[in-house]
Structure 1
Amino acid sequence: MSHQVGINAVEENIINRRTIKSFKKESISPELIIELLNVAKWAPNHKLTEPWKFQLYVGEGKEKFINAFIRSQPQVDGGISERVKKKAQYFRDIPVHLVVIMPEDPRQRRWDEDYGAVSTLIQNFQLAAWEREIGMIWRTNDWIYDPIFREEIGVAPGEKVVATLMIGYPEHIPAARARTDIRELLTIIDK
């Protein structure tokens, strides 16, 4: 990564981070994921509720996640569709799956604060991982809402799956896509 003039390392990491969809087969140790999560936990967190918990699927343990995904998908002619089989194999080829879960507080303000904290933790995690040349995709696909998937992986009623993070060393890093200049989205009130 080359440094741009006037941009510090943190800014550069934020600007250069990409969503990764294709991964090398190289494994990542659970200890490294734990180390990165211990950095990420310093996310802003109102009242220090630490409203997050995690499920880490690695090695053969990934099959539990993959089987939950398969069981949550509609069957075709009494069996698994080719699309689902292909997606399941794609998931098998990804080194690590991390499910991020939060309690769903019935108080809207607490729910909003907790969701904001968990989302910030995930971004911290992505940036800390990116610094170590580890990439990921933050998925919120339909299956995370499916009762079969949730039950299979042990997500209790009253808990929200905020993300399934699929993690590994990037096989391919996509080019940056343009973002809108903030000047077009900002209203300055100075009087």
Structure 2
Amino acid sequence: MNIKNKSDLATIIRERRSVKKGYTNKKVEEETVRELLEDAIWAPTHGMRQPWRFLFVDKDNLPSFAKKVAATYPVEMQQNREDYLNEPNAILVVIMEEPEAQKQWDENYGATASMIQNFWLLAWEHDLGVVWKTNPHIYDPKVKELLNVAENEKIVGFVHLGYFEKQPIKKDRIPLADKFTKYIG
């Protein structure tokens, strides 16, 4: 099969970028995030566990949130981390259930990552920039406590959100031919 015309979905997948900086002042509304998540949660999920939950931090609450998370760092890093966490217009904290069985843990992580990708693509359609961040604070027990993350839960990432005017530069992928082999028994 040779696909000559790319679908809208294929185009969005190829055009989507990580938007890390250059956000405008346009507010990311909770309603918009909820609407995007309503579709994003249709990601594949083993056993229909739907292992995710979300904590939304809007621009109005970001300064307080950033200060509290930054306070978990050594004093000499706190201002840098606070400034960094205040860069986006909003943050969506993605949290997943952590089962004890490794197989289920892997399945939950895969489902949550798929859901984040769905969210990212849907956001891109609306010119909402997204970047999935896994900075050290997501692993800090003090941050888990601060955000009321249960013992059997994991912070998968802080998803930084913001509208943008200038698209980030396209970065090419390694050709598929370099990554694809066929098993011959």
Compute the TM-score of the two structures, normalised by the length of structure 2: 0.91
- Root-mean-square deviation (CA, aligned residues, Å) is 1.5
Cα drift, residue 7 of structure 1:
1.2
Structure 2: 5+ residue stretches without partners: none
Consecutive aligned runs of 4 or more in structure 1 exceeding 3 Å deviation: none
* Cα distance in 2 for residues equivalent to 1:127 and 1:46: 22
Deviations 1:13-54 (A, max 9, x none): 000000001211110210110000001011011110010000
Are 1:29 and 2:32 an aligned pair? no
Note closer, same or farther for the CA distance 1:143–1:171 as it changes in structure 2 (3 Å cut). Answer: farther
Q: Secondary structure at the match of 2:154?
A: strand
Name the stretch that deviates more: 110-119 or 5-14. 5-14
Whether the aligned pair in 1 keeps the contact of 2:12 and 2:124 (CA below 8 Å) is: yes
Q: Is the 8 A contact 1:20 1:174 kept in 2?
A: yes
Q: Secondary structure at the match of 2:158?
A: strand
In the alignment, what sits opposite 1:66? 66
Stretch of structure 1 that moved more, 122-131 or 92-101: 92-101
Q: Look up the SS of the partner of 1:59 in the other structure.
A: coil
> Given that residues 64 and 153 in structure 1 are in contact (C-alpha distance below 8 angstroms), is that contact kept between their aligned partners in structure 2?
no
* Pairs aligned (count): 181
The alignment partner of 1:60 has SS state of: coil
Shift of 1:91: 2.6
Within-5 A mapping of 1:130-169: 130-169=124-163
Q: Note the residue ranges of structure 1 that are not aligned, 5 or more in a row.
A: none
User: Percent of counterpart pairs with the same letter?
Assistant: 33
Structure 1 stretch 144-153 or stretch 114-123: which is displaced more?
Answer: 144-153
Structure 2 CA distance for aligned equivalents of residues 176 and 56 of structure 1: 29
